[in-house]
Amino acid sequence: MEFGAATDPQREGVKGAIATLPPAVSALLVGLGVAQAFRQARILQDQGRADDAERLYRRILARQPDHAASLCRLGAIRLQQGRLEAAVALLRRAVALTNTADGQAGLGAVLAALGRPAEAVACFQAALAIDANHAGTHGKLGLALSALGRHGEAVVHHEQALVVRSGDVEAHFQLGNALRALGRGDAAASHFERALTINPALAQAHCNLGLVVAEMVGPRTAIVHYERALAVKPDLAEAHINLADSLRRIGRHADAIAHYEQGLALRPGVAEAHNNLAVLLEAAGRLEAAIVHYRAALAIRPDRSAIANNLAALLQKLGRLDDAPAGSAAALAHDPAKAEASDQLGGAR
């Protein structure tokens, strides 16, 4: 026997029958409909169909405003959309109703994205108190702790992430970053190398391995790692800038200039790179271009007296000291500065 879709009179009859049932039984039947809708919404969301999933979550919440799981899932969609404050509001409602690891971890992720790492740490810790091995949360907690400068604690959580999932490339990568911040270069290099064994196309790991090698061995050996990073991701700004730093340090100034220019085209807000490029341009006789980059560096870091003095020294040579930054001319009168370069671009993702 075949069953067709219920007609409108049939639907009305079902509604009427439900209405005559005892309240507890009626609520159970409604709940079954909500549960089915929630399962479907989760499937849609996991398939990347966030708009369709959102419509179902909103229907569920119209029927059951305190459906915590839907609030939590809708908060995750808001995070993906970049609507961070809306995500916080939804997730706070969710955890107030039902304190779950998913809800706390989701709220922590949004707070971290908002640049509020201390609050994020509290949420991630709450999630792990509920589920000690909650998926991905040890790594997220490690990142939030590093943002607060608590790198030693971060190492513990990245290591725990690897206990939960030994082949987690992100955990190896972030553990390498935390170890490097602690000055443990050998251990950091080991984890960057492990990450690259798992995923050779992880450009940022090549770049950060280059930083460690530059610190431990020297710039010449680091160059190959920056070049590998750029082979994978030609638009990785820090790889260009770090490569330029290493090239400058071994005297390959023309190549360094080219990579500083490429890096700054991609990320113009790095004061040290502008200053270092200006130093090389000045040495190459490209004085007006050097002035442009000294000024760019000073606009980003007006507190850097060395940059101001580099610019003032060049303007003094050109007889244009009146154009020098305020305060730098007086400093030069006491201690005329030579142009100075610096190495200061990290590569943590």
Tell me the pLDDT of the chain (349 aa) as tens digits. Answer: 232 333 444 334 434 433 443 444 344 445 558 888 899 999 999 999 999 999 999 999 999 999 999 999 999 999 999 999 999 999 999 999 999 999 999 999 999 999 999 999 999 999 999 999 998 999 999 999 999 999 999 999 999 999 999 899 999 999 999 999 999 999 999 999 999 999 999 999 999 999 999 999 999 999 999 999 999 999 999 999 999 999 999 999 999 999 999 999 999 999 999 999 999 999 999 999 999 999 999 999 999 999 999 999 999 999 887 777 766 654 555 455 555 655 444 343 3
d(C-alpha 275, C-alpha 293), whole Å: 6
| Cβ proximity of 91 and 121 under 8 Å | no
Per-residue model confidence (pLDDT) at position 1: 28
d(C-alpha 159, C-alpha 176), whole Å: 10
Q: Is the four-CA dihedral 87, 93, 97, 100 of positive or negative sign?
A: positive
Q: Is the four-CA dihedral 121, 124, 126, 128 of positive or negative sign?
A: negative
DSSP classification of residue 321? G
d(C-alpha 94, C-alpha 55), whole Å: 18
Per-residue model confidence (pLDDT) at position 321: 78
Per-residue model confidence (pLDDT) at position 32: 52
Per-residue model confidence (pLDDT) at position 183: 96
Per-residue model confidence (pLDDT) at position 206: 98
Alpha carbon distance, N-terminus to C-terminus of the chain: 61
Amino acid at 221: T
Residues 6+ apart with CB under 8 A from 325: 298, 308, 311, 312
Per-residue model confidence (pLDDT) at position 329: 55
Per-residue model confidence (pLDDT) at position 324: 76
d(C-alpha 5, C-alpha 156), whole Å: 57
What six digits make up the tokens of 184?
């443990």
What six digits make up the tokens of 94?
């969710």
Question: Using CB atoms within 10 A of its CB, is residue 89 exposed (0-12), middle (13-18) or buried (19+)?
Answer: middle
| CATH numbers and ranges of domains, the chain | 36-134 (1.25.40.10)
Per-residue model confidence (pLDDT) at position 308: 93
